[in-house]
């Protein structure tokens, strides 16, 4: 009789509270990005992780650390800086429309480095750092250690080098740190901007590389995109989501629109538990990249 009553009680509990059980154990989210991390800025743990501790190339997401070092250096954002010819070759294609010798205010240089991922702008910020270019790279790595970014290493301020590496979990820490500075939020989410140079005097228009910044409904507060063939398409951002600040880190996606699609899947998953689906091409790409990462990690371990 006791066993019968116990069985009835168990059946009753699971019949009445099935939704609560689902919420505590949401279905596994499907993303096109090979590596990812999702967290609330006021939380202690990741809400979701996919290869979140793996150190990978991060391309121009690097510029978020560049911005943090510049802002925390205390250098005036109103100072005019000249664009000097590079003292070392760029690690990858570094096409720019900016003329060597022209000048622009540090704040505007920082803005176009963040919103439009201008590589010459990021380089220029580094060479005008009090310790010079080398001192700037040291400051980037020092700040990474300070933030507890244990899998992170920087060798250049632009992200053109594949040796700039970090894990998705590390980049959550970086986004939260950057969000403490209103200038980074403002500059990284500027939709369009016209930079007005002097010596010589000319103007150049710039646009934000993250399409989601242009949508008010997304409430994006921090944004940075990145791309290298070795790093894939990358996106990190913070946004207002249901009354909280949500950090999204997406690294190594196949297509230009894939990170934006993943960002949408994350929001639906958090709201409804819908796991979403990804294209077969993205799944194939992820399998190939995971195999390559595994081979690379095994090679490093063997050495």
DSSP state of 231: T
For 90, the 3-state DSSP assignment is coil
Which residue among 33, 50, 63, 223 is the active-site one?
A: 63
Given a contact cutoff of 8 angstroms between Cβ atoms, the answer to whether 251 and 36 are in contact is yes
**60 assigned to active site:** yes
Which residue among 33, 105, 116, 117 is the active-site one?
A: 117
Which residue among 33, 50, 60, 105 is the active-site one?
A: 60
Q: Which residues, other chains included, contact 142 with Cβ-Cβ below 8 Å and sequence gap of 6+?
A: none
**Which DSSP string corresponds to 156-171?**
-SSS-STT-EE-HHHH
**84 assigned to active site:** no
CB-based burial, 270-297: b 16+ in 10 Å, e otherwise: beeeeebebeeebeebbeebeeebeeee
DSSP state of 255: S
Catalytic residues: 60, 63, 117
């Amino acid at each position: 009789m006791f066993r019968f009553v116990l069985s009835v009680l168990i059946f009753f509990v699971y019949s009445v509270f099935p939704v609560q059980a689902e919420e505590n154990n949401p279905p596994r989210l499907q993303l096109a990005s090979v590596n990812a991390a999702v967290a609330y800025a006021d939380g202690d743990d990741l809400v979701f992780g996919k290869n979140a501790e793996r150190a990978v190339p991060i391309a121009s997401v690097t510029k978020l650390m560049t911005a943090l070092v510049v802002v925390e250096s205390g250098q005036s954002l109103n100072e005019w800086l000249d664009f000097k010819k590079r003292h070392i070759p760029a690690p990858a294609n570094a096409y720019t429309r900016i003329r060597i010798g022209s000048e622009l205010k540090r704040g505007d240089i920082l803005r176009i480095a963040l919103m439009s991922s201008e590589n010459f702008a990021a380089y220029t910020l580094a060479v005008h750092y009090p310790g010079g270019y080398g001192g700037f790279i040291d400051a980037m790595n020092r700040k990474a250690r300070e933030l507890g970014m244990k899998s992170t290493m920087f060798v250049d301020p632009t992200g053109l080098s594949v040796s700039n590496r970090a894990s998705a979990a590390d980049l959550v820490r970086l986004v939260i740190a950057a969000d403490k500075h209103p200038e980074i939020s403002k500059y990284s989410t500027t939709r369009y901007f016209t930079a007005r140079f002097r010596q010589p005097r000319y103007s150049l228009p710039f646009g934000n590389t993250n399409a989601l910044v242009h949508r008010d409904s997304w409430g994006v507060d921090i944004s940075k995109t990145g791309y290298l063939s070795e790093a894939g398409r990358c996106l990190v951002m913070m946004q207002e989501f249901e009354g909280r600040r949500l950090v999204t880190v997406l690294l190594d996606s196949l297509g230009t629109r894939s990170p934006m699609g993943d960002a949408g899947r994350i929001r639906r998953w958090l709201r409804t538990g819908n796991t979403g689906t990804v294209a077969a091409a993205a799944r194939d790409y992820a399998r190939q990249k995971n195999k390559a990462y595994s081979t690379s990690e095994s090679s490093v371990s063997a050495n």
